[in-house]
Chain A
Amino acid sequence: MTLPPGRARPEPTPETKHFWDGTRAGEIRLQRCTDCAKPYFPPRPFCPTCGSRKVEVFVASGRARLYSYVIHHRPVPGFTPPYAIAVVELEEGPRMMTNIVDCPQTPEALVLDMPLEAVFVPMDDTITLPLFRPAKDAASR
């Protein structure tokens, strides 16, 4: 799967580079505090709960549930309306904005709390976006 051109391109910073390196490698790399153990997102080199700088990067499972969304009906560069702008809740707790792929962009198909799994779709040579699709092994979970 490739993305049509036109999307706003994220610009990694030194503090977020590990995340974008991760998506290019097919992983969602979250961070957690080694003092209070709480995972968090978006990336930053300290814990937003307790302020500790003792944090580590870990690989998330890629499993998530659909938390909320809108279905946008107007044209935006890089998108074919209607398309959903979604927020998913990762199995590890943090939430992130994304798009849902391999799924009709309708309220009937996009059911809150449906299980999802991450897919990694290149935008160009350096940026790969983490998108989500309905979980293939949903029945076994």
Chain B
Amino acid sequence: MIPPGSIAIVGAAETTELGVIPHLSEIGLHADAALNAMAETGLKPKDIDGLACVGPMRPQMLAHYLGLTPKWVDGTGVGGCSFMLHVRHAAAAIHAGYCSTVLITHGESGRSRVAAMPRLVEPGSLAGQFEMPFGPMGPPTLFPIPVLRYMKTYGVTHEQLAMVAVIQREWAAKNPRAMFRDPITVEDVLNSRMIAYPFRLLQCCLVTDGGGALILTSADRAKDFPTRPVYILGSGESVETPMVSQMQDFTSSRAFRVAGPEAFRMAGITHKDVDHLMIYDAFAHLPLYGLEDLGFVPRGEAARFIWDRNTAPGGKLPVNTNGGGLSYTHTGMYGMFALQESVRQVRGTAPAQVPNVRISVCHGVGGMFGASGTIVLGRERP
């Protein structure tokens, strides 16, 4: 196992603009974020010898575009949490000596769709045969499919699920780069346009353009960079199924229950050590599943935990402090932005900075509960 803290994030940047960026194609968004992260570290293309990005943006497309000659690449594509897996894989590769400096990028023209990669389901795939004929149209119709079962199992109310969006908007209000910053109430959420019952517009993520990039190297080298190193203490990953209808348990994600505890085990931490938490929130139920499946609260108690303002500004466990996919930004694969916020919080540079964040946990989901990745980041090298 990699000793906790032996690899560090030394570069972390988002695209210069965020939200609506019609003047950049998808690969241009990757490049903008990558150049911003490289500028922060003082690195040039010749200094990068590892590259990870999520297919269908293949590593060779980006290596060529950016002028890189990598000797290690990772094109793992499991949806919006692919970047958590890239961080985990890159840490292993650096530790193994396969490469020394890894660039991980994300760029997605989710809103403007400028030279965007197609989103197709092959009609002969299992999802193409056994889900698509019944009328799903993208994540808003698929991701919330388990919600009613969760609500019935645990007695969760529509008001409680609305509160998730309300509290995340409180965080977004503190963040000048957040797309939506005006305060909202539970009534506002429950009066917003119905998208796919039980979820309304304000319980669904934004659709934006943007990107982000991370640069990782060994902790021993990290002290030579101008930025404050953010150490990787632990990581976990898993996949379950590409079909939400085939999840083993509609009230819990198996992939979460594998990835989360593995990251905690590697890092050698317990829940009380966690100062800050990001849970990928494409839709309002995901923070509930994340809080429970990562073991922060017992099963069925996350809605009350959020309602009681534990995750809100001033609460004991700040969650999704950038405003999340619901209010900050959501390009389609939001995991990169969750990682960026965890890095900012550990560095102490977040717009809505939580005091004295020593450990941040960043938890991602991909493809309608299909995949998961968890990263534990720390301010100090153990």
Contact = CB atoms under 8 A, between A and B. Distances in A.
Interface of A: 7-13, 16, 20, 41-42, 67-74, 76, 78-79, 82-83, 85-87, 95-99, 107, 112, 123, 129
A9 B134 contact: no
Interface string B186-229: 00000001111111000000000000000000000000000000
Contacts of A10: 123-124, 128-130, 132-133
A68 B250 contact: yes
Contacts of B130: 10, 41-42, 96-97
B152 interface: yes
A98 B196 contact: no
Contact of A69 (B124, B132, B140, B145): B145
A12 B129 contact: yes
A11 B123 contact: yes
Give the interface centre of B123, B131, B197 by most chain A CB atoms within 10 Å: B197
Given A9-B133, A87-B145, 16 more contacts: A10-B128, A16-B129, A41-B130, A68-B147, A70-B141, A70-B196, A70-B199, A72-B135, A72-B136, A82-B197, A83-B135, A97-B131, A97-B145, A97-B243, A107-B197, A129-B134
B133 A8 contact: yes
B250 A85 contact: no
Contacts of B1: none
Contact of A112 (B126, B137, B152, B194): B152
A69 B148 CA distance: 7
B124 A11 contact: yes
A80 to B, nearest CB: 10
B149 A67 contact: yes
B252 to A, nearest CB: 13
A10 B133 CA distance: 6
Contacts of A98: 134
B145 to A, nearest CB: 6
B245 A97 contact: yes
